[in-house]
Structure 1
Amino acid sequence: MRHYDPFDYQTQEDPHPVYAWMREHAPVYRNDERDFWALARHADVHAALRDPVRFSNRNGISLEPELWGPQASRTSLFLAMDPPEHGAYRGPVASAFTARRVAALEPRVRELARARLARLRDEPSFDFAADFAAALPNDVLCELLGFPQEEWDAVRADTDLLNHHLDGSDGRSPQSAQAALRLAARFATLVRALRRRPGDDLTSTMLRAQVAGGALTDAQAVAFLFVMIGAGNESTGKTLSNAWYRGWRQPEVQRAGLGGRAAPWVAETLRHDSSSQMVARVLTEETEIHGVRLPAGARMAILPASANRDARVFSDPDVFDLDRDTRRMISFGHGPHHCLGAALARLEMTVALEEIGALVSGYEIDMAAARRAHSPHQRGFVSLPCTVTLR
């Protein structure tokens, strides 16, 4: 029997053997020690995400004790709400992430990507994860949210620490707790500045909005910024680093990806090795799945990264195939909580790989010096030193 614990470093290093065992032998998995159930198969993950009535967000989306419970909306805002309240708080910024609005951002995303790469152009060796993959989505999002440019790197540095956990711990590490405090102070300063002098950024849009009969409080605005920065930066940067790693493992993927097939490289990475591993829900009524009776109030871990390798949906799921139809992947969720920034994340990753492919014809990774992130939610690299061959 395999043991699934999202807070265990060994699981985080490579969860896929555990996921494969769960899909076949324990599709409704029970962890007694941490008091949760987990759903590993594609059909069950898909159904749960589309059913906010039974699989509620009201206690948040994280199993960590400090983030779980009826107070979760104080730190997670609309991520810890169910419809219709969820839509009321998400609605004011949703229009900024439509396909048309995101497509209009492409020239600026390319400009920011080239600015990051310009610093690396004369460096045959650099850290792909830290210097580029994590930096670009942070630059894009900080600009959209109205942060002064001189603060962007500081925001990214603390965001990288935000989800860090010590091995086996379901609490924040000291580094994570300190980073959260610094970010909260920075976010509060931005909110106060934009209340005095609003701009055309997303934070100002949210501050102007009338939600549930009134404007957001400062605390709610800070929670909004945590949601946007945490979700937008972490998942995109980590998935980009996973794509780069896969290109190193499979030279044919590297050649094709750098040679013009950036979009399928992104799509198959999202399926094969998405950064987003797990989201939590609370069950609102007694439910039976695969013959297992789940009580009302049960804590549920929903595993989209496992679902994306379910052989019932994807043939040879452990094979990375640039020609695969990835339309049924669940990397961005489903239902009312489908990722708000999905189109932007795809654009950022595709542009990033296109722009570095225009400069680089090949690369090697120093895996002895690489470091994975340690988070129950995000899988990817915080450091990926590489040496490149310029075109």
Structure 2
Amino acid sequence: MTVTDQPDTGIDFDIYDHAVQDDPYPLFARLRDEAPVFHNTEHDYWVLSRHADVYDATRDDESFSNANGVSIDASAWNRHAHTVMSFLAMDPPEQVRLRRLVSKGFTPRRVRELGPLVQRLTHTYLDEAVGREEIDWIGDVAGRIPMDVISDMMGVPAADRDEVRRQADLLVHREDGLRDVPPAGMEAAGWLFSYYADFVAEKKKGATGDDLTTALILAEDEGQRMTDQEITAFLFLMVVAGNETTTKLLGNAMFHLTQHPDQLAEVIADHDLVDPWVEETLRHDTSSQFIARLVTQDWTRHGVTVPAGSQLMFALGAANHDDRVFTDPERFDIHRDPDEFGKILSFGGGRHFCLGANLARLEARLVLRELLSRTRSIQVDHSRAVRFYSANVRGFAHLPMRLEIS
């Protein structure tokens, strides 16, 4: 079977459709079963949805390239994507060189040492929020901590952080019917990139201290160092990849657990269940739903050929619900077999496996444990939850919640 005679399944699937984003999982099931290599003919991009296929594709550097970035937004998909998305929009050998340099600054030790900061920020924002009759979990807590952690990690002055967070929020929202970054998002991207470029320039005048930016300026590998532009691009990537996805992870965790009162009661009684709660959230409703690749050579799977030059989306959210891998995948279950947690694809795979995976997990676990330590009961008004819309990221913009303090 060639691309021209792919069977017509009648599936109407578009990642930009807000109705699809509201609940993509029934359509994901149809894609896996009926069109595991799906072609959106109107907009000419492809979607890969089965776990085995996505797993293999994330490790196939011969057939798939990151050179155009990981988003098919019209303004983002181009050969200059690396100037704002760092090594995430590169192929070897440049990707290997830059990731090795970044890893010298973004070390496991540095991530572990962020624990007290995460706890301190959580204390601060919960102290402000818990006295109210109702809070917005996203606006009051979950949407504030990840960006503040990143800013502190970078060494961004405290006086600048509220504005940096505001601009970052504008950057990622997508309006219904618009298949690209809206004007406000473009302006925010320009503001942030300019801010970080100036910030790096100032840091280089006196590169001292224990912040990540200084570490990146000083990082050296086989006599090579990062350029100012490369450091700026990585800081910008941190805003996009490290901020919004963690916020959405915290929101999705709260939304889904509170839909299962029995599991919620267990977690409140036993905080050791926070870790599997986070892992099941990553599997059940991952923040990062799609990552894009450029197809570099004709690629055939399930009798369908995707031609070279195509845009191909790896549907991470669909892969995490594949019943060929996960037991009763539509069920949210914090008691899922740990072996299944080891198979989630929320952070991608291969050489592009998310560098910030450990940081996202650390933040989520510490924030949720601190919340549980203060509360006897948690109630989320699911009917008033406001979804956040983005072609790649899934989560909530607002999540009304009531807490009974212990």
Which TM-score applies when normalising by structure 2?
Answer: 0.92
Equivalent residue of 2:129, what SS? coil
- Aligned to 2:267, which of 254, 257, 263? 257
Alpha carbons of structure 1 residues 115 and 318: separation in structure 2 relative to 1, 3 Å: same
CA drift of 1:102 comes to 2.9
Q: What's 2:359 paired with? A: 344
Q: 2:6 maps to what in 1? A: none
Q: Which amino acid aligns with 1:293?
A: T
Report if the CA contact (8 A) 1:255-1:361 is conserved.
no
Instruction: Give, as a single letter, the amino acid of the residue that structure 2 aligns with 1:251.
Output: P
Q: Distance in 2 between matches of 1:188 and 1:98?
A: 23
Q: Which 5+ residue runs of structure 2 have no aligned equivalent?
A: 1-9
Deviations 1:237-267 (A, max 9, x none): 1011001101221112322233312111101
Task: Letter of the 1:163 partner, please give it.
Answer: V
CA distance change for structure 1 residues 70 and 327 in 2, over 3 Å: closer, same or farther? Answer: same
Structure 1 residues 362 and 2: alpha-carbon distance in aligned structure 2, compared to 1, 3 A threshold: farther
Instruction: Please tell me whether residue 301 in structure 1 is matched to residue 309 in structure 2.
Output: no
- How far 1:4 moved relative to its partner? 1.7
Alpha-carbon spacing, 1:369–1:181, altered in 2? closer, same or farther (3 Å): farther
Counterpart position of 2:17: 8
8 Å Cα contact 1:258-1:353 kept in structure 2: no
Q: Does 1:359 align with 2:378?
A: no
User: Structure 1 residue 101: deviation in Å?
Assistant: 4.2
Would you say the 8 A contact 2:104–2:216 is kept in 1?
no
Amino acid at match of 2:232: V
Q: Structure 1 residue aligned with 2:217, among 203, 207, 218?
A: 207
Q: 1:35 is matched with which residue: 44, 55, 68? A: 44
1:253–1:265 Cα contact (<8 Å) kept: no
What letter matches 2:279 in structure 1? A
Which amino acid is 2:201 matched to? R
- For 1:285 and 1:231, locate their aligned partners in 2 and report how far apart those are by CA, in whole Å: 28
Tell me the residue number matched to 1:281: 293
8 A Cα contact 1:371 1:381, kept in partner:
yes
Partner of 1:87: 96
C-alpha distance after superposition, 1:9-66 (max 9, x if no partner): 1111111111111001000000112211110000000001011221111111111121
- Secondary structure of 2:404 counterpart: strand
Q: Distance in 1 between matches of 2:158 and 2:260?
A: 37
The corresponding residue for 1:194 is 203
Structure 1 Cα separation of the partners of residues 36 and 96 of structure 2: 31
Matched, 1:322 2:328: no
SS at match of 2:38: strand
**d(CA) in 1 for partners of 2:386, 2:206:** 41
For 2:285 and 2:106, the matched residues in 1 are separated by: 24
User: Among 245, 252, 259, which residue is 1:235 paired with?
Assistant: 245
Q: CA deviation at 1:110?
A: 1.6
Equivalenced residue count is 391
8 Å CA contact retained: 2:381, 2:400:
yes
Q: Structure 1 residue 315: deviation in Å?
A: 0.9
Change in Cα spacing, 1:157 to 1:76, as seen in structure 2 (3 Å) is: same
The Cα shift of 1:286 comes to 1.2
Unaligned runs of 5+ in 1: none
Partner residue, 1:56: 65
Question: Using a 3 Å threshold, how does the CA distance of structure 1 residues 342 and 35 change in structure 2: closer, same or farther?
Answer: same
Preserved CA contact (<8 Å) 1:88 1:212: no
Aligned with residue 131 of structure 2, among 122, 137, 147: 122
Amino acid at match of 1:282: L
After TM superposition, give the deviation of residue 216 of structure 1 in Å.
4.0
Partner of 1:384: 399
Give the match's secondary structure for 2:258: helix
Instruction: Indicate conservation of the 8 Å contact 1:191/1:222, yes or no.
Output: yes
Contact 2:296–2:308 (CA<8 Å) still a contact in 1? yes
**Equivalent in the alignment of 1:291:** 303
- CA deviations on 1:106-146 (whole Å, 9 max, x unpaired) are 23322222122122232232110121112111121111111
Residue range with higher mean Cα deviation, 251-260 or 279-288: 251-260
Structure 1 CA distance for aligned equivalents of residues 104 and 226 of structure 2: 18
The equivalent residue for 2:167 is 158
**TM-score under structure 1 length normalisation:** 0.95
Q: Secondary structure at the match of 1:111?
A: helix
| Cross-structure match for 2:233 | 223
Structure 2 counterparts to residues 126-137 of structure 1, below 5 A: 126-137=135-146
Kept in 2, the 8 Å contact 1:45–1:304? The answer is yes
Give the equivalent residue in structure 2 for 1:245: 255
| Deviation, structure 1 residue 379 | 0.3
Q: Which amino acid aligns with 2:361?
A: R
Aligned partner of 1:257: which letter?
Answer: V
2:281 corresponds, among 256, 269, 281, to 269
After superposition, residues 171-182 of structure 1 pair within 5 angstroms as 171-182=180-191
Q: Which moved more, 1:175-184 or 1:7-16?
A: 175-184
What is the alpha-carbon distance in structure 2 between the residues aligned to residue 383 and residue 9 of structure 1? Answer: 16
Q: Which amino acid aligns with 2:256?
A: R
Percent of residue pairs bearing the same amino acid type: 40
